[in-house]
Structure 1
Amino acid sequence: MAMEKVDIIGGGIAGLALAGMLNPGGFDVTVHEQRTELPTVGTTLAMWPEAQQALSRLGILGAVRNHGAIIKAGALRRPSGEALLSMEGEGLLGVSRPELLRLLDTAVPVSVRRVAGRVDQPSGAATLTVGADGVNSIVRRDSWGKRSAAKPTPFLAVRGVVPGTPSPRDVGEYWGRGEIFGLAPAIGGSNWYASFRSELGPDKVDVAEALEVTRQRYANYSSAVRDVLSQANPETSLAQRIWTTPPMGRYTRGSVALVGDAAHAMTPNLGRGACEALIDAVTLGELLNDQPMDQALATYNSRRVIRTQLLRSASYAMGSIALAQGAQPWRDALLKQVGKRVAGAREKAETSK
């Protein structure tokens, strides 16, 4: 029986994961990626339990654990560092984006063809074309039309890694007036990220300029935040406009499917974008391996659309709360009360053991 031809447009997290899942005996797979080599700069991604299960099905969970770090706890904080709400993070696995991409690359069978270069128009010659090409997906635009175009938010994301492990009393997310700053441990250092309204961009953003703006913006934050930003440099930092995709009712159309940010790009406030991209790819790959093409695509829609669209909406809502400007005092007072109730519930649970 002739193998079915699958073109995967995009060799990021979702594209590599799908290429790693598809049965090489049943599919003739080509991955198109405009990068000529894997990136060397990137921040830490939190792998939630379901994403870890996806990594396990790809056969690389052990390797990711060996090159990652367990995320145990943190807090939502005022700019001063005062904790508003403690958060338990047991079960989360942190891994840098470059390391995750490298390990996903090792899971791709040698039979998969790699084509370097930008794809401006899908060829349409494959049995299935998969858009794994991110928020500004060419595949989505080609099959879903101009209304599916990504939209820029008013917010800039600046992030990086610096040497030194942060103190547990400084780990967490700092919520200011229309801005947030996050700090977490990473292998060999500290992972940090900042988000705030900015007119830089919206396309290519100068990293050095973005870092200078970020230092000025967070100059009145805690010493932990200021120390991290004083160490940040353009070589180990990234800066980009945050874009999102509009609501979508289906991730397949004819012989085309979307995975990851091409389907449901969301703001980073829930930390679920990379996780859901992995789950998309593994789900679609397993279905294609086990079911006829039409049935597999229909099942993929039923399993992934509602869940990821809800997460996309929830992430946007969380971002609106975190980056609130006028309602900051009421927001922080509410978080403080929630924090007290959570702490009380934990204390009762401990004493009842």
Structure 2
Amino acid sequence: MEKVNIIGGGIAGLGILGAVRNRGAIIKAGALRRPSGEPLLSMEGEGLLGVSRPELLRLLDTAVHASVRRVVGRVDPLPDAGALTVGADGVNSVVRRDYWGKRSAAKPTPFLAVRGVVPGTPAPPEVGEYWGRGEIFGLAPAVGGSNWYASFRSEWGPDRVDVAEALEVSRSRYANYSPAVQNVLALAHPETSLAQRIWTTPPLATYSRGNVVLVGDAAHAMTPNLGRGACEALIDAMTLGSLLNEHPMDKALAAYNKKRVMRTQLLRLASSTMGSVALARGAQPLRDALFKQAGKRVARTRERAGTSK
């Protein structure tokens, strides 16, 4: 139940870009906001499309060719020879653990993520991220409703978190936020919401070992602050598939590492840094003042560009 930015070329290559556009919501603008809703930094997007993760997974599943044989079941132990093994098993990847060792184990962050979808489309002045003191709240349009998410420090977890209890805590925690945020939380229901600890993976120098390769969160799980986790997983898959179609396996995996490791590890670090800024506590006033000044400069630049046309 989170929005993901769609990489048009990759989705088009699977033949589902039209379907994604039909099931996605166009996000034309948004803003970084104070809890009151006052914009600090306004942002405009051109052709930015959001689609819920369950819907995207359903559409991706339709792109799987009918000739593909599916076998569902537990694999233990993992194969150590022969065909390629792709570890696409998430942040707590068993494949990564078995082939990269205990030091590659995922680590929980101090932050809880609560997210969901509710009926009703947010008005343009409500779209964006609301940054408070050690907490954030995001709101964006989705097909037939609104996609929302919240993140704050919590001692819950790292295992299963009670969604109903997390929603109650969220309603209390964001009680002084704008009416738009409070209205969304009032509509939020456990059946259409998720609550979980945010986990990340340590840095990896390579995503392949022998005939084993990692993709997505198994390779580079990052905090959600840049919205790149699901996007980079899609690019991983498309890149790996294309390279395997063009080259022998050893050369394909070497090229995959060259194309994907540096980029995704830099994004992992950048996302963590952005999370530290967004969830700042003591430095919040200075942070907001800097973004306010940046917002004014951006507005002046847009005005000059509009005048010169």
Q: TM-score, normalised by structure 2?
A: 0.98
1:43 aligned residue: 2
1:79 aligns with 2:79: no
Map 1:216-231; keep pairs closer than 5 Å. 216-231=172-187
Three-state SS of the structure 2 residue aligned to 1:192 is: strand
Residue among 60, 63, 67 paired with 1:104: 60
2:110 equivalent among 154, 170, 188: 154
Aligned counterpart in structure 2 of residue 305 of structure 1, from 237, 250, 261? 261
* Residue 118 of structure 1, CA deviation: 4.2
Residue 91 of structure 1: CA displacement?
Answer: 2.3
- Specify every segment of 5 or more residues in structure 2 that has no aligned partner in the other structure, as ranges: none
Aligned to 2:217: 261
Q: 2:119 aligns with which of 147, 163, 166?
A: 163
1:131 aligns with 2:131: no
Secondary structure of 2:148 counterpart: strand
1:34 aligned residue: none
Question: Aligned-pair distance for 1:127?
Answer: 1.4
1:155-179, Cα deviation, whole Å (9 max, x unpaired): 0000000000101001100000000
Q: Partner letter of residue 5 of structure 2?
A: A
Secondary structure at the aligned position of 1:116 is classed as: coil
Q: Aligned equivalents of 1:111 and 1:144: distance in 2?
A: 32
Task: Give the distance between the partners of 1:118 and 1:72, measured in 2 at CA.
Answer: 44
Q: How many angstroms does 1:46 deviate by? A: 2.6
Q: 1:192 aligns with which of 148, 158, 171?
A: 148
**Which of these residues, 325, 329, 333, is aligned with residue 281 of structure 2?**
325
Q: Report if the CA contact (8 A) 2:119-2:146 is conserved.
A: yes
Whether the 8 Å contact between 1:121 and 1:142 is mirrored in structure 2 is no
| In 1, Cα distance between equivalents of 2:288 and 2:133 | 10
Q: In the aligned structure 2, how far is the partner of 1:258 from the partner of 1:142? A: 12
User: Secondary structure at the residue paired with 2:202?
Assistant: coil
Secondary structure, aligned partner of 1:339: helix
Residues 166-181 of structure 1 mapped to structure 2, 5 A cutoff: 166-181=122-137
Q: What's the counterpart of residue 143 of structure 1?
A: 99
Query: How far 1:119 sits from its partner (Å)?
Result: 4.0
Contact 1:78/1:174 (CA < 8 Å) preserved in 2? yes
Moved over 4 A (4+): none
| Counterpart for residue 198 of structure 2 | 242
Aligned CA distance change for structure 1 residues 200 and 119 (closer, same or farther; 3 Å)? farther
